[in-house]
Structure 1
Amino acid sequence: MEMSREKVAVVTGANKGLGYEIVKALCRKTTASYLTARNEEKGRRRSRTARTRPQAEIPSAGHPPKVYQTDQTLIVNFFSLVDFCETISPLMRNGGCIVNVSSSSGHLSRIPSQRLRERLKDENLSLDELKVLMQGYLLAVKHSRDVEDGWGESPYVVSKVGVNAYTFILHRRLAPRDIRVNCVHPGYIRTDMTKGEGNVLPEQGADVVVQVALSDSRGQYVWHNGTPVPWCGDDPRIWIDGKV
């Protein structure tokens, strides 16, 4: 039986916010899109009502202890993303693409330690070695050594740097299959996660993600204005956004 050549998109975390707007943008471009969410009912509801604006569903829970915050941030932002990509990539057709949503926090300059930066940007770095680095960071947090060891103070930064490092590992591995792998900083999105303080609407952030998904870009870190930026150079917040 001949395999369908229809383009299919799978969007994770898509029941609201940026993910939901990405689904809507892809649907406008007649791409068959699968909306996925951790809560099945919310996901089904959003897939049926792709016309309404997402509502806030995550209440503010204050500031959890740093070890717990670090553990959960790494699970959600890094390890779950890796697990999903590792599961789905063998099932993808040659010539497909993966776009990982990153952040300005994912720029390598955000890691203070030169030793860690050199390790993370090493083109011979394997996924197993990257996971060991991330687990080592969590251990450093548990022993209050994260700043001393050169990771800096932000679990979110480390998780997104991990996402970018993984993106480039995956790009190198899947290049022989012509599968394009990129990561995108969509801007400071006004969502529940930013408590409505972002300066970019979800639909605006979705535009650059979809643009990269439908382009021939490969192995790139793309800024919110569509500019590919070096991962290991000067902080683009300075030379693109004019701020730090």
Structure 2
Amino acid sequence: MTENKNIALVTGANKGIGREIAAQLLGRGVTVLLGGRNPELVAAAAQELGARPVVVDVSEDASVAAAAELVEAEYGRLDVLVNNAAITGGGANDVATMQTVFNTNVFGVIRMIDAFTPLLRRSAAPRIVNVSSSVGSLDFVTGPNNQLPFMLPYPTSKSALNAVTVQYARELGKEGFKVNAVCPGYCATDLNHFSGHRTPAQGAEIAVTMATIGEDGPNAGFFDENGPVAW
């Protein structure tokens, strides 16, 4: 039964940080809908964790709409939406790659929020968590500690995601939503060929914290494990 349990949908959750977010939410007694675009991988991960598989490709309108219809039919509401799905673009800096990356990392988040806001409005404590990155912080990328090579798609998509987060937080915050962005840190995942120095489980912790904050929790913020991150 889910009447007295929070229901959370996590995108990009069949592997990496998303999978760990799903696992940690399950550990807190949350009913988790494990989202991803590959049906076989989503089904396998959901079975292993004890979550409900939801096939959703955030880059496609029809797929997002179908996922919202499924959650509506089976659960009637949603309490937490964690927008974790993201791609890097593979290092290319051309316009076509930019469009592809933004379609997932930015427009995909907008699709998900717009499609699931009606279900989140039925929650007593709606929460939206957007998984961003320190490379999306303009403070970081213009500072002396940024040693990254020239890269357009991924960092700029995360900067845009941060701006999107603030806009939704300002608007949906009027209805009691808490909408925040989080930075999991440099975690070892396939996005960086497992070169990160943090584990996906460590990276997931801040997303889970923001997904489960109380009424006194923040809105329109950007956080890592140490607290607020400069935009």
One-letter amino acid matched to 1:13:
G
Count of aligned pairs between the two proteins:
180
- Please say if residues 208 and 226 of structure 1, whose CA atoms lie closer than 8 Å, have aligned partners that are also in contact: no
Moved more, 90-99 or 156-165: 90-99
Which of 179, 182, 185 aligns to 1:184? It is 182
Is the 1:95–1:177 contact (alpha carbons within 8 Å) kept by the matching residues of 2?
no
Specify which structure has the bigger relative contact order, considering alpha-carbon pairs within 8 angstroms and separated by 6 or more residues: 1
Q: In the TM superposition, what whole-angstrom CA distance separates every residue of 1:120-158 from its partner, at most 9, and x where no partner exists?
A: xxxxxxxxxxxxxxxxxxxxxxxxxxxxxxxx8522111
Structure 2: runs of 5 or more not aligned? 51-88, 143-149
For residues 94-173 of structure 1, what are the structure 2 equivalents within 5 Å?
94-109=124-139, 153-173=151-171
What is the root-mean-square deviation of aligned Cα atoms in Å? 2.2
Following the alignment from structure 2 to structure 1, what is the Cα–Cα distance between the partners of residues 230 and 17?
24
Secondary structure of the corresponding residue to residue 14 of structure 1: coil
CA drift at 1:90: 2.0
Deviates further, 61-70 or 74-83: 61-70
Matched, 1:83 2:84: no
Higher normalized strand content (fraction of residues): 2
**TM-score, length of structure 2 as denominator length:** 0.72
Q: For residue 221 of structure 2, what is the aligned residue in structure 1?
A: 220
SS at match of 1:100: strand
Deviation at 1:72, TM superposition (A): 1.4
Q: CA deviation at 1:108?
A: 2.8
Q: Return the offset for 1:165.
A: 0.3
- SS of 1:35 mapped into structure 2: strand
CA contact (8 A) 2:165 2:181 kept: yes
- The 1-side partners of 2:186 and 2:132 are apart by 11
What CA distance in whole angstroms lies between the structure 2 residues aligned with 1:111 and 1:208?
Answer: 21
Q: For the residues of structure 2 that align with 1:183 and 1:5, how far apart are their CA atoms?
A: 26
What is the CA-CA distance between 1:230 and the residue it aligns to? 3.5
Provide structure 1 residue ranges, at least 5 long, that are not aligned to the other structure.
52-60, 113-151, 232-244
**Structure of higher CA gyration radius:** 1
Q: 1:205 aligns with which of 203, 207, 223?
A: 203
Quick check: 2:91–2:151 contact (8 Å CA) kept in 1? no
Measure, in 1, the Cα distance between the counterparts of 2:166 and 2:203. Answer: 22
| Amino acid across the alignment from 2:126 | G
